[in-house]
Structure formats: C-alpha cells, structure tokens
A = this chain, B = another copy of it.
Amino acid sequence: MNKRWEYSGFGIPDDFFVRGKAPMTKEEVRAVVLSKLRLKEDHIFVDVGAGTGSVSIEAALKLSRGKVYAIEYKEEALSLLEVNAKAFGVENLEVLKGRAEEELKKIKGFDRIFVGGSGGEIHWILDYALEHLSKEGRIVITAVTLETLTEGFKALKKKEYKDVEVVSVGVSKGRSTGNYTLMEAQNNIYVLSATKN
C-alpha cells in the first residue's frame, strides 16, 4: 500500500496508485501514451480528464523543470488525484478542479496535451488545443469508443497537424487462478497522436 513512497525511478506499477472506482490509464497504455507525448524536461503539459492522476504523476516526475496541469471535475477522482500526487511527492503538478472548457482557459499555453477522458466535450477541447498548443507541440488522445476514435482522428487530420498516427493497443494480463494463469483482456485502446505544425 505504501510502496509508492519508495518510488524513485521510471515506470510505475498500477498498484502504486490509490484508485477507488475512478478510471485509470493502466501501466501498459500509460507507457505508450507517455512515449507518444515525447516529453522534454521543461515542458508545460496538460492532462484533460486526469482521473486518478496516473499519467499526470508519471509525467510530473519526468518534467524536472516543467509543469503539469491536471484537469478533472469528478469529486471522487479529485480526492484520489490529490492523495496520489502527495504520495509521490510531486510539486510541479497543479490540479484544476472543473470542466475542461473553463479550466483550459486558465493556462497560458502548453507544449503537450493528453485527452484521456473527455466527457462529450471533445470537439471543443480539440479545437482549443489546436489553437493554444505551442509550435511543434504534441497532442495525444486515447479512445475506447468508435465515435471518439472517429472524431479524434478527423480532428488530427486537419492541416495544422503533421505526424498524425493512430495505433490500437490490446493488452491481456495473466491472473493466477490456482495452478492456472488466465489471460484477462483489457479493452482495446486507440492512441491517437500528432505534432502541431
């Protein structure tokens, strides 16, 4: 339970985070998302729909001279996010409590943005991101529904973006049941990414 206090490296196991019932980007997909973000140490990074904060925290640990804004409006997720941020001792993570439409406007500009949980406002968020992302900035979107996949992909194919990529990541994890190891499937995640021109 307190394992996370000992953390001092790269790559964080899922059980180092306190989760409750809030959705969490699991380790394998989180690793892919963080790789696609192509973070540099001094970046300003925005995590829209931060949930338990697993992506925000792992990013904050990398951004030694940068900053993470974690936007979340659900009460339960917010309290977990704060517990987790405290547990990992990250001081360059600011939690913005509220809807993306309101909270994004409080940030002056950003180099990287991750849209993992968009609650139906994805069109607005993607339009806003396109406008306020720095040149050569990166956007990463995860989708679990066909509609978010389609909308996200359409948004990234606009001419302001380059290096548009869509990958589908399917993870199964072995779970011991007696002498057997059942390979349990997680839902497939589509990871979309692009660089702003």
Contact = CB atoms under 8 A, between A and B. Distances in A.
A38 to B, nearest CB: 5
At the interface, is chain A mostly helix, strand, loop or mixed?
A: mixed
A153 B145 CA distance: 13
Interface string A167-196: 111111110010111111111100000000
A147 interface: yes
A126 B160 CA distance: 33
Q: How many copies of this chain are found per oligomer?
A: 4
Category for how many chain A residues contact B: 35 or more
A68 B166 CA distance: 32
A94 interface: no
Interface stretch (A7-15, A75-83, A100-108): A7-15
A165 B173 CA distance: 8
A62 interface: yes
A10 B180 CA distance: 33
Contacts of A13: 38
Nearest to A8: B40
A31 interface: yes
B188 A145 contact: no
14 contacts: A9-B40, A10-B62, A11-B34, A11-B39, A145-B183, A147-B180, A153-B181, A166-B174, A166-B181, A167-B172, A167-B174, A168-B170, A168-B171, A168-B183
